Structures are given as structure tokens and as C-alpha cells.
Structure 1
Amino acid sequence: MRSFSVGIIWRLALISIVIGGIMYGWIQQYSTLLIVVLFIIFCSLFLSLYNYVTSTNRKLTRFLESVRYSDFAVAFKADDKLGGSFRDLNQQFNEVLEAFRQARAEKEANLHYLNTFVQNVSVGLLSFDASGNVELINQAALRLLGIYRLRNLSELHAVHPRLEEILRTGKAGEPTIYQTSQEQELSIRCATVRLRGRPITVSSIQNIRTELQEKELEAWQNLTKVLRHEIMNSVTPIVSLVGTMQDIVDMELSDGVAPAESVGDLREALSTIEHRGRGIMRFVEAYRNFTAIPQPRFREVSVDELLKNVIHLVQPDLQKAQIILKSEPLPAPITIYADGEQIEMVLLNLVKNAVESFNGHAKGKEIHINANSTDGRTTIRITDNGPGIEPEALEKIFIPFFTTKKTGSGIGLSLSRQIMQLHGGQLKAISTPGQGSTFSLIF
């Protein structure tokens, strides 16, 4: 600071000397030219003093402009010789600019990383503002839409007439299926965020045609396995028995005399054929029932009345199996919009499964039924304290014709889940081996 003070002092001293010379020359009536020259020297010295004193303000202005326009190449060091405080101030300015420079470099690196990530994902990504101006679009989106660039959503009209409306009106989190002219099934999801006070819509675009085809192929393969297994299990013994019967007819009954033992063998073979034939007929009937569920007839259904009907219907089976059924009272009346008969069938099936799960258990058998409604979602739960379901089987219990029981068609739970799906709901199961299972109907 001492150097800065010295600079001010000698400038003030020179100005004082010049002023004194001007006054002296004026009093002594020296030549006008000399007075003019002294006045010009005075103005120069005064301007030098002004610039010298306001240099810090100009430096601060340059610093703020550097920050505003992101010009971080500026360095402050020209007036370091004016004193320690100037050197400290310049050092702080330079350190702040260096911090801003590093922050900008890091921001650019993150932006480059994010852009590389966005451009290389297989899901199409598109963001646009309220005017339809496209802020970001990746190569996957351009490829799925069959275009090479997109600056505004209005440019989609020529190729995809309905797509702009879908993108603008899409509800957050809800997928919309759009079929292109190239027979693509595009799943479109939209979400709106506010960026610097502006609403920005971010959309994901995914071709699900391949995925749907894979799932369809997998479903047909699974169905074929089930049909092959069931049909072969019935047809193989029938063919074998027919061959045995043919041998009996050719070798033992050809002379017209029927030994009692041969007749008994024929009767047994015919009985077995009849049993297996009826078994395959039952399987085909179960398959027909599984694929022919009628559409629900929706109406308002009281959950309390629904549960009372189910409990009344299963009470004889419960008493016979010595099972205690506990139904918790509803905290308030609950209604659902559903087909009461179909939901009653689902509940009966679940209670029946719970009863059958107790085979081999002697005491302490309980089934609990309760319902509650929160945030517009109604849930009915059926819980038992039976042996539970092994994790491997729990993953397959909703597969058609899969069963863990010695008897049964294996379509009960599949049918129940299909009914819940027709109601726009869900059927979920959780189970702990040795402790029991809980099935939840979620509306």
C-alpha cells in the first residue's frame, strides 16, 4: 500500500506545484502561452491521478465481466508492485477465476459424458420445450422415427401425423403405444421437468415389437411343452394297452374261447384306457376354460358383502378340515367396481388352495381374510399359516397348468390372475416356507 500512497502523494505534489505556477504566472502577468501550457499539464496530472485512484474499480469491473462472459483466461498482476494489499487482491481474483475455469471444464466434461451416454443407449430419447423446439434427440430416436434430424415437433407431420399429439399430451409415467407405417410398435413415455423456469418434456421411445414377438414365441413354446407333456402322458399308455389287447385277441381269443384271465386283462386295459381318455378330456376342458373367460360385467360391489358370501360358502369345508377362519371387520364401508361373481370365484379358489395346503397339519390351522382401502387402492388379503411355498415354486405358480398338488389342473391361480388383469388389477403372492402364504387382490 506504501507504493500506492507514494504514487498519490507525488501526483498531488506535482498538481499543487502546477497550480501554484499558474497562479503565479497569472499574478505576474506572464505570457498567456505559458499559462495555457501549465493548465494543460494540470489537466494531464489530474486525469492521471483520477485513473490511478479508480484503477481498483476498473479491475473489479474487468473481473466481473470475465465471470459474466466466462472469459477465464484473464490474469490480474499488473499492479502487484503497488503494495501487498494489491498483490493479495490480485491473487484472490486469479484464484476465483481459476475455480470458475475448473468448474466450467468439469461441467463440459460431465456434459460430454452425458451426451455420449445418451447418444449410445438403445432407447430413443427426445426432449422439447413448450413451443415444440427440440432441445435434445439421440441417434436411437432418429433411427426409430426414420428421420435424420428434428428441430421442431411440427416437422413430424410428414412422416408421423399422430406422433406430435402423443408427445405433447402424454401423461407422466403412462406408456402410449404408437404404430408406425413400418409396422413398428413404439412405446412412448413422457415426463415434464422445469429447467431454469421453463417446462421441458422428456420422452423415451422404445420399439417393443421385437420384445412382444419374443414374449409371444416364448408363450407358444411353453404352451406347446405343456400340451405335449399332457397328451403324451395320456396317449403313451393308451397305445401300449391297445397293443396288449391286440396280442390277447390274436393269441388267446382267436379260437373263440375266452379264458377268464384274458377277459380280466381286457377289462383292466379298457378301464385304464377309459380313465386316461377322461383325463385328457378334462385337460382339454380346463384349457378351454382358461382361454374363454368372459369379459367382466362391472358394477359397484360391496367388499363386506363379497367377503360374507365367500365365508358362508367355504364354512362347511373349513369345519370339516378343522380350520379357523378369521375375518377382520372393515374400518369403513369399501366398494369396488368389478364383476362380483368373477371376484368371488377368485376368492373361493384362493381359500380352497389355503385349505388344501394344510394337508398333513393337525392343529393350529388358521386362515385370515382382511381388506383395506388407501389412496384409491383397495386390497383384499388371504393369509394362512400353512407350510408355505418354496421360492422355486413361487415363481411358477401363476404359469398355466403348473401345480404343486398331486391332484388339480394347475389353472386355478392362472385363471385368477387373468381375471384380475381383466379388472385392471393385480394378484400377488408372498410366502415363507414353514410360516405360511399371503395372496393379495389389488384393485
Structure 2
Amino acid sequence: MFYKRFTFRLIFRLLVINLLGYLLYYLISNTQLWFTIAGTAFLLLGAIISLYYYINEIRSDIKRFILAVKTRDHTLNFKNKATKGSFPELYESFGEILQVHKQIRLEQEAMFQLIKTILEQVPVGVIVINNTETAEESEEIAFFNQAASNLLGIPAYKYWHRLKQHLPAFASEIAQILQGGKRFLELKIQDKLIQLSTEVIPLNLYGKNYTIISFQNIKDEIEQKETEAWNRLIGVISHEILNSITPISSLSDTINSMVSDKENLDVSEMDDLKTALQTIKRRSAGLLDFVKDYRLIAELPTPNLESHTIGEILKHIKVLMQPFARVKNVVLDVEQTSSKITVQLDLKLIEQVLINLITNSIYSVEEKENPQISVSYRLEHTKLYIDVSDNGKGIEAADLEKIFVPFYTTRKNGSGIGLTISRNIMKMHRGSIEVVSEPDKLTTFSLVFNYI
């Protein structure tokens, strides 16, 4: 109601004070009525005191509200004053602000409990240290989840120095990366060796320094990865051996058919025989060297760069792969074998790449009515491209990047390593492999060399 409003009450009190002041002045100036003068003076003093307490009440309420916000006291209530007070809108706003503040606080508590519950469930040990205190004995552990307790075999200590006393080796390793970083630790906990992958992250929140330590036991994962690595290594070597042995076997069959039931060979047949034997010898030597290097250092051998012409490379590949393609009823067209363009490369390694690509193409076109594979080269700006194209089933767009991932394969009996090795070989030549595919129409793999 209007008469309860602050403005009305303030104006009313000021009018009363002014009237009493004027009356007191009049009585003192024009009369000798001392009892009336004293009574009027007391009334004026009471009105002034009432005005002071009235304004001070509002100031006190505002002070209480600010203190409640600062101390996060959500029990303060202004409902009565919002309906009966002089400032209903103000007190209603106070109530709404306190309610919103309470809701935010509850949401923060709920989120904290959610995160805490998640961290308690994950198999990763998490320790959070409050580094705000300078004294080492005062460094409090703000969070210590159950996984950390299980992995380290210790209770959830409240202070860091207690953990250091129990596990000095762990604390010493953490001190090495206290400013942030990762570290691999081997610790003996309760006569059991564990291998921990550990990460430390320093953090500053609202002027307080924290150190987050996370760690997990990777011993089982390492053992599993070692087993997988051995299996994959066997698959890699088998893949490379088969890819090279297959064309050699086909070439051997061709030679056998040339010399069987013949006592004499003419000059052209003798030249073909010599070329085939030289190719088998070179490819066998290359294969043996490749396997030997792979076995010894578990990675590709460093390229032995020499000058070779494109024609020489394509000619060797034609001689090596033509018999295998013929057996599969595939038309293999190797163009420009007379080219004199020279490039620095390791012939054995690049042959290995081309064997992989052509072999993949042969398997890709084997269900086609007119299977065709072409090998050619082109020059564009400062790049030299050797292209292997086929009209096979091609590669879907989603698989174009996956095909280079180790052990990813779309072929039934493939190992998924050929393209990975091929790309690594090209990287070692400071080149790359590019692929463009239109499924069931044309797929082209390109070996890209820098050519200046």
C-alpha cells in the first residue's frame, strides 16, 4: 500500500519534524509556556530519533544481505519485509538473489560430487596437492582417489609429507617432473613390480597453487602390446616375403617353360633367360637384404641413394611383375621404359614399393571382366610421379586415409602393412604416396619424388 512506501514515510516524518521545529521556534519566541515548549522539544527529538532508526533499519538490512552473500548464508529471509516493508521490490530482489546464489552453490556442489564420483570410478590414480602453503609439511592433499590408494598400496593420506615418508621412491620421481611433464616409473609395491605411466600438471586456481598427479599401471598393457608386436612383426615379414616370392615363382615357371623339352636356345631366348635370371637374382638378394635389415633393426633400412633412370626402374618392374600378372589374366602395361630421366633413389626399396602397389592392383582387378593395370610416369613442376593405375573395385572415400594405418586392410588375406611400409619408404626418400580413387572405375597410386 502507498502509506507503507519508503517515500511516503520519509516525507511524512520530515513534515512532522519541520512542523515540530517551527512550532518549537514559535513557542520559544512568543510564549512563556515552558511545559509546552519542553513537550514539543521531546516530540521533535523523538521524531528525529525515529527517522534515524527508520533509515538505519534499511542500512542494516542491506548490510545483512551483503554479509549473507559473502558468507554464503542462505538462511537469511526477507519474505516478511517484501510484503510489509517500505521497499518490497528491493527486498524481493534480495530474496531472489539469495535464492539464485543458493541454487548456484547447490549446482556447484552437485557437479563437484559428480566429478569426484567419476574420479573414484576410473582406474587411474589421481592425487591433488594444495601447494599454497610454503612449508613442505603443510602441503595438504586435496584429493586422493581409491585407485591411487590401490595402485600405491597406501591409505589416502591427508598430507604430502606423510606419503613421501611411506613411498620415498615415488615422491622422488614425482619431484623430477614437478613443474609438469610425463614420466615412466617402475616401483616395487608389496613385493610386486608395477609400471606406472605418470603425468604431473601444475595448476593455479583463484590464487591457490595445486599439483595434479595422475598415474596408471600399464604393465599388463605393455605385455599385451609386446605380444601383439611380435605377432605383427611375423605378419610383416611374411607379407614382404610372399609379395616378392610370388613374382619370382611366376618368373621361375616362365623360365622352366622356356627351357623344358629344349636342347638348344636361340639368341633371343638366351637373352630373355639371362634377363629373367638376373632379375630373380637381384630380387632375391634385395628380399634377403630387406628381411635381414628388418630383423636386425626392426625398421626399414636407410636408403642407399644412387642415380637411376625411370626407364631402368620401369623395365625391371615389367620383367618382374609381367609373369605374375599374366598368370592372373591381368593386362599389365608398363609404359616409357626407355625414359632417360634420372632420379636419386634406392632401387631395391622403390622396387619393393612398386611390387606392393602392383600386387594390390592385381588383387583389386581379379574380379573384373577386363582387368587392366598401367604403370607410367609424369613430370609436373618440381615433382616426378610414378603412377600405378587400375580399373579395380577401388577404395571408398572413408577408407582413403585408413589404408595407410598399420595393419588396416580391406583384403581378405592381407596383413595391412604393405602400404604403411611403402609410405615410410617414400618418406625416407623425402617423397610421398598419393592416391585418387573412383570406385569400380579408376584408382591411381602415385609415388611422388622431388625433382629439380
Q: Which residue of 1 aligns with 2:48?
A: 46
Tell me the secondary structure at the aligned position of residue 185 of structure 2: strand
Structure 2 vs 1, CA of residues 324 and 113 (structure 1 numbering), >3 Å: closer, same or farther?
farther
Q: Which residue of 2 aligns with 1:76?
A: 78
Name the CA distance, whole Å, in 1 between partners of 2:403 and 2:373.
Answer: 29
Name the CA distance, whole Å, in 1 between partners of 2:299 and 2:18.
Answer: 106
Q: Which residue of 2 aligns with 1:125?
A: 126
Shift of 1:196: 3.5
Q: Is 1:141 aligned with 2:148?
A: yes
Q: Which residue of 2 aligns with 1:103?
A: 104
Shift of 1:382: 8.3
Superposed counterparts of 1:121-270, under 5 Å: 121-128=122-129, 134-151=141-158, 155-158=162-165, 159=167, 160-171=170-181, 175-182=182-189, 183-191=193-201, 195-196=205-206, 200-218=210-228
Tell me the secondary structure at the aligned position of residue 63 of structure 2: helix
Tell me the secondary structure at the aligned position of residue 72 of structure 1: coil
Provide TM-score, normalisation by structure 2: 0.56
Name the CA distance, whole Å, in 1 between partners of 2:91 and 2:130.
Answer: 43
Name the CA distance, whole Å, in 2 between partners of 1:125 and 1:356.
Answer: 51
What do the CA deviations read for 1:299-340 (whole angstroms, capped 9, x no partner)? xx9xxx969769586343356664469xxxxxxxxxxxxxx9
Tell me the secondary structure at the aligned position of residue 73 of structure 2: coil
Tell me the secondary structure at the aligned position of residue 102 of structure 1: helix
Shift of 1:188: 1.7
Which amino acid counterpart does residue 316 of structure 2 have in structure 1? Answer: D
Shift of 1:14: 5.0
Check the 8 A contact 1:349/1:412 in 2, yes or no.
Answer: no
Which amino acid counterpart does residue 116 of structure 2 have in structure 1? Answer: N
Q: Which residue of 1 aligns with 2:352?
A: 349
Name the CA distance, whole Å, in 1 between partners of 2:118 and 2:416.
Answer: 46
Structure 2 vs 1, CA of residues 367 and 221 (structure 1 numbering), >3 Å: closer, same or farther?
same
Name the CA distance, whole Å, in 1 between partners of 2:203 and 2:443.
Answer: 45
Shift of 1:8: 3.5
Shift of 1:202: 3.8
Name the CA distance, whole Å, in 2 between partners of 1:404 and 1:79.
Answer: 80
Provide TM-score, normalisation by structure 1: 0.57
Q: Which residue of 1 aligns with 2:274?
A: none
Name the CA distance, whole Å, in 2 between partners of 1:308 and 1:62.
Answer: 89
Shift of 1:177: 1.2
Q: Is 1:317 aligned with 2:316?
A: yes
Superposed counterparts of 1:86-97, under 5 Å: 86-97=87-98
Gaps of 5+ in 1: 229-282, 326-339, 373-379
Aligned length: 349
Check the 8 A contact 2:184/2:196 in 1, yes or no.
Answer: yes
Shift of 1:155: 4.8
Which amino acid counterpart does residue 357 of structure 2 have in structure 1? Answer: A
Name the CA distance, whole Å, in 2 between partners of 1:38 and 1:188.
Answer: 84
Check the 8 A contact 2:68/2:74 in 1, yes or no.
Answer: yes
Shift of 1:186: 0.6
Name the CA distance, whole Å, in 1 between partners of 2:155 and 2:358.
Answer: 62
Q: Which residue of 1 aligns with 2:116?
A: 115
Name the CA distance, whole Å, in 2 between partners of 1:143 and 1:70.
Answer: 37
Shift of 1:104: 1.7
| Cα root mean square deviation, aligned | 5.6
Shift of 1:59: 3.0
Structure 2 vs 1, CA of residues 16 and 314 (structure 1 numbering), >3 Å: closer, same or farther?
same
Name the CA distance, whole Å, in 2 between partners of 1:24 and 1:100.
Answer: 56
Check the 8 A contact 1:367/1:385 in 2, yes or no.
Answer: no
Q: Which residue of 2 aligns with 1:337?
A: none
Which amino acid counterpart does residue 209 of structure 1 have in structure 2? Answer: K
Check the 8 A contact 2:434/2:446 in 1, yes or no.
Answer: yes
Could you tell me the percent identity over the aligned residues? 23
Gaps of 5+ in 2: 133-138, 239-286, 320-331, 337-343, 366-370
